[in-house]
Amino acid sequence: MSRSSPKVGFVSLGCPKALVDSERILTQLRAEGYAISPSYNDADLVVVNTCGFIDSAVAESLDAIGEALAENGKVIVTGCLGAKGDVVKQAHPQVLAVTGPHALEEVMLAVHKHLPKPHDPYIDLVPAQGIKLTPAHYAYLKISEGCNHRCSFCIIPSLRGDLVSRPIGEVLTEAEHLVDSGVKELLVISQDTSAYGVDVKYRTDFWGGMPVKTRMLDLVKHLGDMGVWVRLHYVYPYPHVDEVIPLMQAGKILPYLDIPFQHASPKILKAMKRPAATEDTLARIRAWRAACPELVIRSTFIVGFPGETEEDFQMLLDFLDAAQLDRVGCFPYSPVEGAAANALANPVAEDVKQERLERLMEVQAEISAARLERRIGQEMTVLVDEITDDGTALARSYADAPEIDGVVIIENSEGLVVGEFARVRITDAGDHDLWAERI
């Protein structure tokens, strides 16, 4: 499997509304691991966002499609011209797909069909099953590229380079556009959200004429004023993360942290070269929960890393018991081509990895279920993701990130609208999901 990212070329024509669509498509492409290519030749396919407002714009759009076809050959057309019947297909029957404006979902489906992306649990910022884009009321906001860490099991720094933070003004503008176009939940992603701005020394940028520093606290403060859910992914337990907890307690951003701890044994964390490996993570979690009792923490772990003894693994189980994390994902260690950890001594046998994976998930299943059970009787705000054919609403509370966590099931969806918030009372809990009724 090639480890280089599939590359998409992008041509954006038309008015500011078309530009917002382009930004949303580009954001989604980046979030899913596609690279954006500046040239036709280098791209695996090209998306052309067209304008069809006046005749000259139609001609310009058709020319742009023709040029992309001549230079690259694989072209997906979106935008206003796509909405005008068969104009595009008649002029350029070879295009792979044509959609109208504001068609993020269809564009992404067409991209997935003609240029699938490989999934790697160590690399991907989004789940293997992809992002379900119906309904499009949540969006991933990628704040940086690359990573300054050198975790021994990971090849992202060699693939994507060192951390490059996007200017905060640009990120906030994109967030505003997303909110203006109906997004109700922003999911902040990067390889290390807590490192945002380190590479540019927290440079001051401008947003709406106002100076803002390129750093996590300033970013989440401003996002928290946008009136939508803001969820933080890929945060490390550094001391400065403490600063965002009061914003969670104040209801500005969701009291939810996705922190990939990966292990708890100091020896293994050191061998993994994990960021914040020397922090007293349990003390930090306790302090966060004292400051914000509603805080939900999700994490991922790797079992069977080279050199992991039964004692190291037991430390991990003890950590889970003490940390009482809400949601946990776990992978057995598997070598990634090019990763430094491949050279480490004492690999763990496959059957031992599997056995540890099962033991870990068993321990965590009880913890997660107990934490969910405490919700029974509580009133919660949920965001409705889907209404199924049998009239059941699938929603999420602040405690559930889309695609990776559980859902809140509301059997009678009468009056509920996909993409809107609702107040519910939790009536039952399972291992992953909750059941609720409308209030």
Indicate the DSSP class of residue 71. Answer: H
Give backbone dihedrals phi and psi of 30, rounded to 5 degrees, phi first. Answer: -65, -45
Is the distance from CB of 424 to CB of 392 less than 8 angstroms? no
- 237 binds ligand SF4 per the rule CB under 6 A: no
Distance of alpha carbon 143 from alpha carbon 188, whole angstroms? 7
- 191 binds ligand SF4 per the rule CB under 6 A: yes
Strand-by-strand arrangement of the 45-50 sheet: 35-37, 7-12, 45-50, 75-79, 97-98
Q: How far is the CB of 239 from ligand SF4 (least distance, A)?
A: 17
Q: How far is the CB of 272 from ligand SF4 (least distance, A)?
A: 8
CB-nearer residue toward ligand SF4: 275 or 402 = 275
Site string for ligand SF4, 91-130 (x = CB under 6 A): ----------------------------------------
Indicate the DSSP class of residue 131. Answer: -
Cβ-based neighbours of 366, under 8 Å, separated by 6 or more: none
CB-nearer residue toward ligand SF4: 112 or 150 = 150
CB-nearer residue toward ligand SF4: 33 or 100 = 33
Cβ-based neighbours of 438, under 8 Å, separated by 6 or more: 410, 412, 414, 415, 416, 422, 423, 424, 425
Cβ-based neighbours of 54, under 8 Å, separated by 6 or more: none
Number of residues that bind ligand SF4 (CB under 6 A): 10
Among 29, 156, 171, 323, binds ligand SF4 (CB under 6 A): 156
CB-nearer residue toward ligand SF4: 229 or 261 = 261
Q: How far is the CB of 157 from ligand SF4 (least distance, A)?
A: 5
Q: Tell which residue, 156, 118, 191, has the closest CA to residue 338.
A: 156
Distance of alpha carbon 155 from alpha carbon 336, whole angstroms? 8
- 275 binds ligand SF4 per the rule CB under 6 A: yes
Among 75, 151, 175, 253, binds ligand SF4 (CB under 6 A): 151
Cβ-based neighbours of 268, under 8 Å, separated by 6 or more: 305, 307, 308, 312
- Which residue's structure tokens are 């609720």? 436
Distance of alpha carbon 306 from alpha carbon 335, whole angstroms? 10
- 14 binds ligand SF4 per the rule CB under 6 A: no
- 329 binds ligand SF4 per the rule CB under 6 A: no
Among 23, 192, 258, 308, binds ligand SF4 (CB under 6 A): 192
> Which range of residues in 7-15, 144-152, 219-227, 331-339 is near ligand SF4 by CB under 6 A?
144-152
Q: How far is the CB of 260 from ligand SF4 (least distance, A)?
A: 7
- 144 binds ligand SF4 per the rule CB under 6 A: no
- 157 binds ligand SF4 per the rule CB under 6 A: yes
Residues engaged in binding ligand SF4 (CB under 6 A): 147, 149-151, 154, 156-157, 191-192, 275
